[in-house]
């Protein structure tokens, strides 16, 4: 799967590594999956702030963002082995493109916000 490992203690260096490695992976024909909240949070807490990594990768490489929103956190709790039964809803959004990484990230986060209350 070729994940891009990061060190959460050094955010700037990790962001640079993600941006640079993502460019190489995209050039090699890979898709890049980004979790913009950084880590799972409790669903009842809403949506956390997004890092600009997805916007930066998209804008710098002239590729769209395809957002995918789901509610699995309601049944698969963070740091818990036991999974509860339930229906996982998935929304696949439209493609988002642009050359302003912050505006692009904000637009995608707003799309997530409009979907998360339905899940």
Going by pLDDT thresholds of 50, 70 and 90, the confidence category of residue 116 is low
49, part of any domain? yes
**Residues contacting 30, CB < 8 A, separation 6+:** 2
pLDDT for residue 118:
52
Most confident of 26-35, 37-46, 77-86: 26-35
Contact 106, 60 (CB under 8 A): no
- Phi then psi for residue 86, to 5 deg, are 165, 175
pLDDT for residue 107:
95
Nearest C-alpha neighbor of 37 from the set 52, 18, 20, 15: 52
What is d(CA 1, CA 111) in angstroms, rounded to the nearest whole number? 27
Provide the domain limits for residue 15: 11-116
Question: Exposed, middle or buried, 18 (CB in 10 Å: 0-12/13-18/19+)?
Answer: buried
Residue-wise pLDDT tens digits, 41-65: 777 777 888 888 999 999 999 999 9
pTM of the model: 0.83
The tally of domains found in the chain comes to 1
């Amino acid at each position: 799967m070729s994940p891009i490992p990061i060190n959460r203690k050094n955010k700037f260096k990790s962001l640079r590594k993600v941006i640079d490695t993502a460019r190489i992976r995209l050039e090699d024909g890979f898709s890049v999956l980004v979790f913009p909240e950084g880590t799972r949070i409790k669903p009842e807490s809403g949506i956390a702030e997004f890092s600009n990594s997805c916007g930066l990768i998209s804008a710098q490489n002239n590729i769209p963002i395809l957002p995918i929103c789901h509610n699995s956190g309601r049944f698969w709790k963070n740091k818990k082995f036991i999974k509860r039964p339930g229906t996982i809803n998935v929304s696949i959004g439209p493609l988002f493109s642009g050359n302003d990484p912050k505006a692009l990230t904000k637009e995608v986060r707003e799309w997530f916000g409009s979907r998360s209350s339905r899940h």
